[in-house]
Amino acid sequence: MIRRHSLPTRLTHWLNAVCLCFLLASGLQIFNAWPQLYWGQAGAEAGDAVLEIGTTTTHGDAAGFLRIGAISLTTTGVLGVSHSGADQVRRAFPGWLTLPAYQHLAAGRQWHFLFAWCFVLNGLAYLAWSLFSGHLRRDLMPRRGELRPAHLWHEVVEHARLRFPKDERARHYNALQKLSYLGVIGVLLPLMVLTGLTMSPGVGAACPWLLDLFGGRQSARTLHFITASFLVLFVVVHIAMVIVSGLWNNLRSMVTGRYAITKESIHE
């Protein structure tokens, strides 16, 4: 048994998980109020949305659809129109995914802002601790040899084969993990925070350069949605890797900090 994750890492990890769940659910509630994404300073004419989730009615029957550019997909029962018993509910995202479950924009905004600030403060605390303790430099920064194309390709192949080290190498993040975490910490999360701030009229008035940076409030809203989607994808892949590489061992290390390794390598 080794000590793999420190207490600050474990605490901020689980706080992030809670915040992201509430942010996603409340964000979908906000999106449902106007389920269209545009590019530019203001909303364009109807039909010019780069993404739209809506409903159509044919012969009295409602059908949901997802349109991205010129591509339109029928999504009845999932997006646009969801079913609750014999009744059809016309909402972009179904109620079981949103906070609150019923349509209420003001409540969704309140939940979103509350957990957005919790998320930002938790992230700043993690960043400060990582810099002060050397965790960022020691554990997250790739070493020179780890960035060689041959080494990265080897790790991609090993992951595809679901072969994960369980010996001494398991003490440290591999190159793919380091690059993924740095991408989330250094790109996705700052972009999500900045685009969220840009959508605020008050922040836009105080910092007009944000509107210029992202090409307008509607562009910032679209980028915010895209960034959140990539973050959800990262979480899904992260959970999948936790499961296939040893669910109990990984969970124990993120709860107690202790992780079991073997003396023998799995690679002969």
Question: How confident is residue 264, by pLDDT bands cut at 50, 70 and 90?
Answer: low
- Co-location of 211 and 112 in the same domain: yes
Q: Is the distance from CB of 92 to CB of 80 less than 8 angstroms?
A: yes
Please write down the long-range contacts of 144-149, taking CB distance under 8 Å and 24 or more positions apart: 146/174, 146/175, 146/178, 147/175
Q: What is the mean pLDDT of the chain?
A: 88
Instruction: Identify whether 265 is part of a domain.
Output: no
* Tally of structural domains, the chain: 2
- Co-location of 122 and 75 in the same domain: no
- Please say if the pLDDT value at position 88 is more than 80: no
The domain that holds 250 is classified in CATH as: 1.20.950.20
User: Region 230-249: what's the mean pLDDT?
Assistant: 93
The whole-angstrom distance between residue 117's C-alpha and the CA centroid of its chain comes to 16
Instruction: Identify whether 181 is part of a domain.
Output: yes
104 in helix, strand or coil? coil
Note the pLDDT of residue 45: 55
Question: How confident is residue 136, by pLDDT bands cut at 50, 70 and 90?
Answer: confident
- Co-location of 77 and 153 in the same domain: no
Instruction: Identify whether 161 is part of a domain.
Output: yes
- Co-location of 78 and 22 in the same domain: no
Instruction: Identify whether 63 is part of a domain.
Output: yes
Instruction: Identify whether 98 is part of a domain.
Output: no
* Closest of 63, 61, 64, 66 to residue 51, by C-alpha: 66
- Co-location of 18 and 116 in the same domain: yes
pTM, to two decimals: 0.87
The predicted-structure confidence for 197-231, as pLDDT tens digits, reads as follows 999 888 888 888 998 899 888 999 999 999 999 99
Q: Which residue has the higher pLDDT, 68 or 167?
A: 68
- Co-location of 243 and 179 in the same domain: yes
* Closest of 260, 249, 250, 255 to residue 7, by C-alpha: 255
C-alpha to C-alpha distance for 29 and 35, rounded to whole angstroms = 10
Say which residues have a Cβ less than 8 Å from residue 175's Cβ, sequence separation at least 6. 142, 146, 147, 151, 152, 155
Q: What is the 3-state secondary structure (H, E, C) of 13-60?
A: HHHHHHHHHHHHHHHHHHHHHCCEECCCCCCCCCCCCCEEEEEEEECC
Note the pLDDT of residue 184: 93
Q: What is the DSSP letter of 72?
A: E
- Please say if the pLDDT value at position 87 is more than 70: no
User: Region 128-157: what's the mean pLDDT?
Assistant: 90
- Please say if the pLDDT value at position 180 is more than 50: yes
Is the torsion defined by CA of 56, 60, 62, 63 positive or negative?
negative
- Co-location of 115 and 226 in the same domain: yes
- Please say if the pLDDT value at position 46 is more than 70: no
- Co-location of 160 and 62 in the same domain: no
* Closest of 124, 112, 101 to residue 228, by C-alpha: 112
User: Region 54-67: what's the mean pLDDT?
Assistant: 83
Domain carrying residue 23: 2-42+104-259
- Percent of the chain whose pLDDT exceeds 90: 54
- Co-location of 181 and 126 in the same domain: yes
